[in-house]
Every structure is written in structure tokens, then in C-alpha cells.
């Protein structure tokens, strides 16, 4: 059904807009991102879809097919100096599915809408586009949002793009049978296991924390070790205790990460008086997440009892895990088995995706294709052309099969 040359051609063209080495630098609402959004609208209109960009930068392309239909899509902006397929693959798969369905005269009554969500990568906030689409982003949040790297207010960036004052699209669940998203795996499970398709069972929730240690700033040469209140050392000891305690409480795919450690004042000859870490853990089971949170608080309490520094922990965000729709995952598995018998697996997503939020409103499915060497969020990110085409075929055929099964 799909046109492989068109799929690869679109992806390769997008690779040139904001190209960086072998990857892409196309942050949200940069001039390159704005250009690509308009280009996509033009491609969607050429395909016979009614496409427009809303007041937060989301694109929605609607089919004129009557009855309930499928929604598919992803995001188009990239991380800084990162890969060419993260997000773009899912957008082009969705667009190609919509085009192929319209071109196949035997598929009467089968329709696909395409959504391109703005700022999945978090340059201005947290999944602003998909969260806006399900109606949980208010105007005050947009007022507060600023670019995390350069500080540009979101309102200012939207105005510069020409999107200010436009209404924001809000999902109409009665229109859709469900939502499908495709993505590169962003890990090495498929490649190392010899599989070619991942049928996603669920998307992790990730809970993020700020851990702080208060000590006493002092001279690094004249303060005896037994008199020191070294906040940096206290923080590192706590993080080591986490690594010792968490494995017994974790599930097989649980992960935890200290993404940043800051010492104040951060000079080589000064004992730090304050230290801070940004810490997170991820799993698809809320019970596991709750166990880890309880353990983290217990470890802080134990550290405070031992002294000499005062530690505290504050949760800064918590996303809920999302289970994928069982009927749709069975459809993906059936089509994958037909195309690559025995070379697909069911697997959780360790990364968050727009599908996690759309799943709050619609039955949702997600599919992965392999990432070479498991690399993503880096300009060397890649997937073979053979796997890109295979994934597009399985994605499109799965949507058609799901629609035929549920069509009124």
C-alpha cells in the first residue's frame, strides 16, 4: 500500500532542514521548525487533507471520509544537534498512511487524520502540544513557558511564527477509533535481540526529584576532615545508597538516573556548603514507582539521622504510565508476524512519547523500529532504509486492519 520511495524521500528531505553533521538541529519554533511545519501542511493538502496549524504550533490534517477514523502522528522538532528520525519517522509514517489509504480505491470508508504535536522534546515545556490537544494546558501555563536554553517566552515565539491568536485544536474522541504512533526505539533491544519490530506494551511514567544537601562552606585546606560539613560528599553518599537500595525494589526494566549535580560555590579549594542533584526513575508500574519514592524518602531520613548535613527531597514532576490498547497491540503483532515471522517482540517504552498523553483520551498503540547501536538524541542516530520501509508498511497495514475491524 505505501510508497517506499516517497517515505524515504520525505525523511531525507526533512534531514536537510536544520541539518547538522549526519543529524538535525531543529528546535521547537526555530525558523527551520516553522518552515517544516508549513511544508508539512502543504504536503497534507496535496494529499487531499484539510490541514492547519493551531495557536500552539500543532498541525491537524483531517480527512473527508465519513464516520469514525484513525488518528496517527508524532512530533517534528528535534533535540539540539540530534538525530534525523526521532519524531520525523512517526510523522511521515502517519502522512504516508493517510496518502496511501486515500489512493487505494478498495479502502472505501477507511480514513486517517494526521497530528503533528508541538514541543514533544520540551524546549518550552513538557509535551505542550499533545497536552494542549487533550485539553490540559491552560493559558497561564503558556504565559509562564520560556525556552529552556535561551529564555525566549513561548508567547513571543508563537507570535514570531505567526501562530499567536489562533485557536488551539482540542481532540474530539467521538471522531476516532484510536491513535497510532511510530517511533525509533532509541535503544538497542531490537538490534541486539535480532528483532525488527517492537510492539509497545506500555509507556513508562517517570518521576523527577530535586535532592538538596545543606552543609557548611569552608576552606578546603584548613578544615580538618572530622569537622567538615561537606554538602557535596553528603549528596554523593546518598546517591550511592540509592544505587544499593533500589535494585531490590525495582522491576526488570526499571531505571534511575542522576542527570545533574551542582555544588555551591563549586570552586576547587572550597568545601561546598550546598549541593543539589536532579534525579529521576522510570517504570510502567505505578506500584514500583511508589516503592522507589518511599525508599528515597527513607534514605534521606537515614542520612539526616547520621549527619552531619541536612538533606531534603522534593518531587518536581510525575507522569503516569500508559498502557497500550490490547486490541491494537494484537493487530500490530498479527501484521508483524505476517511480514517478519518470529522477528518482533512486545516491549515497554523506556522513553516518554506523545502517545502517553493521547492514551488518556483514545485507545492507543505504538510501534518501534530498530535504532542502529541504540543511539538517539545524538546526530549519529540512524535506522536502516530497509527497516524504515518495513516499519512504514507494518504501521499502515495495522491501521487499515484496525479500522476494518472497528468500522461502523
Rounded to whole angstroms, how far apart are CA atoms 113 and 95?
8
What's the domain count of the chain? 2
Structural contact between residues 391 and 369, judged by C-beta atoms closer than 8 angstroms: yes
Q: What is the CATH number of the domain that holds 210?
A: 3.30.70.360
Q: Strand, coil or helix: what is 250?
A: coil
244 and 378 both lie in a single domain:
no
Rounded to whole angstroms, how far apart are CA atoms 338 and 394?
9
Q: What is the bridge-based pairing of β-strands 270-271 and 218-219?
A: antiparallel
Structural contact between residues 58 and 116, judged by C-beta atoms closer than 8 angstroms: yes
Structural contact between residues 203 and 354, judged by C-beta atoms closer than 8 angstroms: no
Query: With a threshold of 0.75, does the pTM exceed it?
Result: yes
Which ranges of the chain have pLDDT less than 70? 406-408
Rounded to whole angstroms, how far apart are CA atoms 328 and 181?
11
54 and 25 both lie in a single domain:
yes
What phi and psi values does residue 18 have, to the nearest 5 degrees? Answer: 85, 20
11 and 143 both lie in a single domain:
yes
78 and 215 both lie in a single domain:
no
Nearest Cα residue to 399 out of 110, 38, 34, 106: 110
169 and 60 both lie in a single domain:
yes
The reported pLDDT for the residue numbered 408 is 45
| CB-facing half-sphere around the CA of 172: CA atoms within 13 A | 10
Helical (H) or strand (E) element with 401:
helix 385-406
185 and 209 both lie in a single domain:
no
24 and 154 both lie in a single domain:
yes
Q: Convert the pLDDT of each residue in 335-371 to its tens digit.
A: 999 999 999 999 999 999 999 999 999 999 999 999 9
263 and 394 both lie in a single domain:
no
Burial (CB count within 10 angstroms: exposed 0-12, middle 13-18, buried 19+), residue 344: buried
194 and 309 both lie in a single domain:
no
The reported pLDDT for the residue numbered 40 is 98
Please give the residue range of the domain that contains residue 331.
4-203+323-406
Beta bridge partners of 178: 70
Q: Strand, coil or helix: what is 314?
A: strand
Close Cβ partners of 26 (under 8 Å, ≥ 6 residues apart): 17, 18, 32, 33, 36, 76, 77, 78
69 and 89 both lie in a single domain:
yes
367 and 279 both lie in a single domain:
no
73 and 153 both lie in a single domain:
yes
Amino acid at each position: 500500500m505505501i510508497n517506499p520511495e516517497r517515505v524515504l524521500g520525505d525523511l531525507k528531505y526533512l534531514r536537510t532542514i536544520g541539518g547538522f553533521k549526519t543529524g538535525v538541529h531543529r528546535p521547537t519554533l526555530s525558523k527551520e521548525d516553522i518552515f517544516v511545519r508549513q511544508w508539512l501542511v502543504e504536503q497534507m493538502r496535496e494529499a487531499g487533507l484539510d490541514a492547519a496549524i493551531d495557536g500552539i504550533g500543532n498541525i491537524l490534517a483531517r480527512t473527508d471520509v465519513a464516520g469514525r477514523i484513525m488518528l496517527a502522528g508524532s512530533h517534528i522538532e528535534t533535540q539540539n544537534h540530534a538525530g534525523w528520525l526521532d519524531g520525523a519517522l512517526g510523522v511521515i509514517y502517519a502522512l504516508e498512511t493517510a496518502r496511501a489509504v486515500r489512493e487505494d480505491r478498495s479502502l472505501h470508508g477507511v480514513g486517517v487524520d494526521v497530528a503533528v504535536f508541538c514541543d514533544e522534546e520540551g524546549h518550552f515545556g513538557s509535551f505542550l502540544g499533545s497536552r494542549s490537544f487533550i485539553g490540559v494546558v491552560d493559558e497561564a501555563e503558556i504565559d509562564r513557558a520560556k525556552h529552556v536554553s535561551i529564555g525566549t517566552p513561548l508567547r513571543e515565539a508563537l507570535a514570531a511564527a505567526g501562530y499567536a491568536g489562533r485557536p488551539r485544536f482540542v481532540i474530539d474522541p467521538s471522531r476516532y477509533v484510536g491513535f497510532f504512533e511510530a517511533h525509533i526505539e532509541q535503544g538497542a533491544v531490537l538490534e541486539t535481540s535480532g528483532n525488527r519490530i517492537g510492539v509497545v506494551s506500555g509507556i513508562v511514567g517517570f518521576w523527577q526529584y530535586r535532592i538538596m544537601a545543606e552543609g557548611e562552606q569552608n576552606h578546603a585546606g584548613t578544615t580538618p576532615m572530622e569537622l567538615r560539613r561537606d554538602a557535596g560528599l553528603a549528596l554523593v553518599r546518598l546517591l550511592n545508597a540509592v544505587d544499593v537500595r533500589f535494585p531490590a525494589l525495582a522491576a526488570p526494566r526499571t531505571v534511575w538516573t542522576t542527570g545533574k549535580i551542582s555544588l555551591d560555590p563549586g570552586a576547587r579549594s572550597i568545601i561546598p556548603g550546598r549541593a543539589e542533584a536532579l534525579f529521576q526513575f522510570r517504570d510502567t508500574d505505578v506500584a514500583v514507582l511508589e516503592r522507589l519514592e518511599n525508599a528515597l524518602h527513607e534514605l534521606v531520613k537515614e542520612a539526616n539521622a547520621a549527619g552531619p548535613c541536612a538533606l531534603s527531597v522534593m518531587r518536581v514532576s510525575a507522569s503516569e504510565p500508559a498502557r497500550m490498547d490490547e486490541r491494537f497491540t494484537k493487530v500490530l503483532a498479527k501484521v508483524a508476524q505476517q511480514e517478519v515471522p518470529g522477528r518482533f517482540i512486545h516491549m515497554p517504552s523506556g522513553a516518554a512519547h506523545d502517545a502517553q498523553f493521547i492514551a488518556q483520551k483514545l485507545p492507543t498503540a505504538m510501534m518501534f523500529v530498530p535504532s542502529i547501536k541504540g543511539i538517539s538524541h545524538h546526530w549519529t542516530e540512524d535506522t536502516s532504509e530497509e527497516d524504515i520501509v518495513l516499519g512504514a508498511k507494518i504501521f499502515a497495514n495495522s491501521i487499515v486492519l484496525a479500522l476494518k475491524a472497528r468500522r461502523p
